[in-house]
């Protein structure tokens, strides 16, 4: 058995058998067809992405690929959770800074208001 290669669309999947070759052939074919309409296009075409997601639904029926999909889900959930935690911490810092700025602004407004009011009374 050869070395497992990363899937041409979902690079986090290790391919077995002819999956890599067959998928790469499809990616190239779709890309060549799309380039006829849009010569400056680069990357994976929309049609290829749709096809690949449908392919993934079929691959998920096999334990080998289902395990990789489950691992990917865990990685994505962990990354999203970490980002949310960092975002919440940063938002707390910004909220505290905003509150400090607003409090200082209000104190200064009060001082200037009272100073103007005293000038009018004189």
Q: What is the pLDDT of residues 22-37, one digit of tens each?
A: 999 999 999 999 999 9
Q: Which residues of the chain have pLDDT under 70?
A: 1-2
pLDDT at 117: 84
pLDDT at 10: 97
CB half-sphere exposure, 97, CA atoms < 13 A: 6
pLDDT at 83: 97
pLDDT at 97: 95
pLDDT at 2: 64
Query: Residue 5 burial by CB count (10 A; 0-12/13-18/19+): exposed, middle or buried?
Result: middle
pLDDT at 72: 98
pTM recorded for the entire structure: 0.73
pLDDT at 3: 78
pLDDT at 1: 52
């Amino acid at each position: 058995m050869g070395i497992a290669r990363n899937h041409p669309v979902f690079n986090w999947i290790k391919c077995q058998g002819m999956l890599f070759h067959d998928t790469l052939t499809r990616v190239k074919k779709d890309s060549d067809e799309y380039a006829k309409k849009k010569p400056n296009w680069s990357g994976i075409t929309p049609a290829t992405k749709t096809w690949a997601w449908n392919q993934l639904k079929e691959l998920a029926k096999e334990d080998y690929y289902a395990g990789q999909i489950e691992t990917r889900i865990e990685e994505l959930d962990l990354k999203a959770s970490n980002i949310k935690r960092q975002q919440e911490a940063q938002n707390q810092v910004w909220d505290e800074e905003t509150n400090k700025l607003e409090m200082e602004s209000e104190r200064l407004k009060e001082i200037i208001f009272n100073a103007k009011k005293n000038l009018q009374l004189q």
